[in-house]
Structure 1
Amino acid sequence: MAKEVELEPPPEHSAKDYQDPPPAPLIDAEELIQWSFYRALIAEFIATLLFLYVTVLTVIGYKSQTDPNKPGVDECGGVGILGIAWAFGGMIFILVYCTAGISGGHINPAVTFGLFLGRKVSLIRAILYMVAQCLGAICGCGLAKAFQKAYYNRYGGGANELADGYSKGTGLGAEIIGTFVLVYTVFSATDPKRSARDSHVPVLAPLPIGFAVFMVHLATIPITGTGINPARSFGAAVIYNKEKAWDDQWIFWVGPFIGAAIAAIYHQYILRAAAIKALGSFRSSS
């Protein structure tokens, strides 16, 4: 008689094969005594400095190469808008890849604000990240000016300005939508549920984030020069310090923060239904 084999019941599987990190506390004073927190601030400062240094020099170099007042210059030469967009997107890809494991690789106050609204970072971390990013942007533009002062002043210092022929509303809308695309991509690329569900399709998070920056620049460089990063716009305006760079500075703060807020609400509370989950958890505990 054949030996009977007792089949064990299959192991129970959890309803989901991923784990959402707990929401960050609103105020986390313990961060202020941790070296890892200050290391993250340094990483954000240096990353934003490098980002502004490379991208501003790219913009200035393009304007110099296509200056119609210079003899023998090909107005169709230089890297063009496509090259400028690649510089911004490529630097974001590189720097997010380098700093993601240390600070999260924000390099943008609007991204930090969106992640704060999504309960990914505390209020203390968000505020100090923004300060570090703005200081890094100022220093990055300062280095660009120090090395090429004549070109820097002659070709606008890479400062964001609303282009002639566009209204303030158009510029604001471009900044809102452009930042929405960026921050929405950040949430999607770092979503633990997506990583678990699509584990068979490995995605390097910095790649779609950098590509989002590239695409937004292609669309909005002719309108605002593309801000979508208040630190980038603020740092360039501080060092260039000409009236036109300050005239519409509010657009490059209000627009990105509104776009980031919409992206955070859309991803966290509509696509991920965080509000419904929180309500369900509250009812269960009650």
Structure 2
Amino acid sequence: MKTSLDDVRTLLFWKAVFAEFLGTFILVVVGIGSTVQGWTADPLDIVQIALSFGLGVATSVWIIGHISGGHINPAVTCAMLITRRVSLIRAILFIVAQSIGSIAGAGILKALTPDFQIGGLGTTTLNTGVTIAQGFGIELVITMVLILTVFAACDSKRTDLGGSFPLTIGFAVTIGHLWAVEYTGSSMNPARSLGPAVIMDIWTDHWIYWVGPITGGLLGGLLYDNLLASNASLRKARDLLMASHFDDGKYPEQKPNIRVIDTEQGEKGDGEVLISNSF
């Protein structure tokens, strides 16, 4: 695992740290801004909230992705750390920057919001009837899905990818909210939960929004890298955990030999279904 302090001596490193602050700030302002009380007494629109967070993530990643990778989420950073994509010092400072960005975003949002609309300022808490175990499990699952999407969208070895990877990641955030926002607030991002908690001084079950997403992030990163990636292998998994130096590029791709039944070709005279190597 990288532990070199060489990173901190470069301007690019601090530019990346600032990018994580800015990206998380944007996400919190845009996302949490959709959760404040409306001008009427009507219930909040779950689809509006889901799209605001999803598109907020996509926008932030598009803005800063080329600088820092666009983590804007401690769960993503921890997944990158456990799979040895970032150094320990970079991970620590990214998480600090994300946390400060969230607090700043929540503070600015509160200052710009009329008092009667503030409500809980998007603070994530478990809904009535949701147990701690259920809340932890939900946050773990939705974050694991997000991390699997992040790793898949950014997999340079895949040749089947197309379109916008920030938007793809945003979709994963959106579906997480569509399912879980009424259960846990659908955090899947410890920094996103930290800002409102600090500004509103609401800490009920706050630990769930760190332990759940980070656990899901670690599981998602390890699952993709060691089972779903094209170069996944037992040797790679062993080296990831034990080798002093790790280079993902040295592990050969395992190309699947998939044979698909060609139903349009009909059958041979003896009744054998024709098979074509389509992949």
TM bin (shorter chain): 0.7 to 0.9
Q: Given residue 20 of structure 2, which amino acid in structure 1 is its aligned partner?
A: E
After TM superposition, what 4+ stretches of structure 1 lie above 4 angstroms from structure 2? Answer: none
Q: Which runs of 5+ in 1 are unaligned?
A: 1-24, 68-74
Return the offset for 1:202: 2.2
Q: Find 1:168's aligned residue among 132, 145, 156.
A: 132
> For 2:59 and 2:234, how far apart are their aligned partners in 1?
34
| Cα deviation code 1:51-85 (max 9, x no counterpart) | 1111122110xx32442xxxxxxx26x6x100100
Return the offset for 1:247: 1.6
> For 1:202 and 1:235, how far apart are their aligned partners in 2?
34
Return the offset for 1:205: 1.2
Return the offset for 1:168: 0.9
Q: Find 2:123's aligned residue among 159, 166, 190.
A: 159
Q: Find 2:180's aligned residue among 183, 203, 220.
A: 220
1:51 has 2:47 as partner: no
> For 2:2 and 2:99, how far apart are their aligned partners in 1?
22
> Hey, what does 2:200 align to over in structure 1?
240
Q: Given residue 187 of structure 1, which amino acid in structure 2 is its aligned partner?
A: F
1:253 has 2:210 as partner: yes
> For 1:129 and 1:174, how far apart are their aligned partners in 2?
25
Q: Does the 8 A contact of 1:64 with 1:151 survive in 2?
A: no
TM-score by length of 2: 0.81
Return the offset for 1:149: 5.2
Q: Does the 8 A contact of 1:183 with 1:263 survive in 2?
A: yes
| Cα deviation code 1:198-237 (max 9, x no counterpart) | 2xx5232112100000000000001011110000101110
> For 1:224 and 1:166, how far apart are their aligned partners in 2?
8
Spell out the pairing of 1:3-152 with structure 2 (5 A cutoff): 25-60=1-36, 63-67=37-41, 75=42, 80-148=45-113, 150-151=115-116
Change (3 A) 1:278 1:218: closer
Query: Percent of aligned positions with the same letter in both sequences?
Result: 39
| Cα deviation code 1:67-126 (max 9, x no counterpart) | 2xxxxxxx26x6x10010000000111111111100000000000000111111110000
> For 1:254 and 1:135, how far apart are their aligned partners in 2?
19
| Cα deviation code 1:123-171 (max 9, x no counterpart) | 0000000000000000000001111251354x11110010001111111
Return the offset for 1:275: 4.1
> For 2:237 and 2:99, how far apart are their aligned partners in 1?
34
Q: Which runs of 5+ in 2 are unaligned?
A: 244-249, 251-279
TM-score by length of 1: 0.79
Q: Given residue 207 of structure 2, which amino acid in structure 1 is its aligned partner?
A: W
> For 2:228 and 2:152, how far apart are their aligned partners in 1?
10
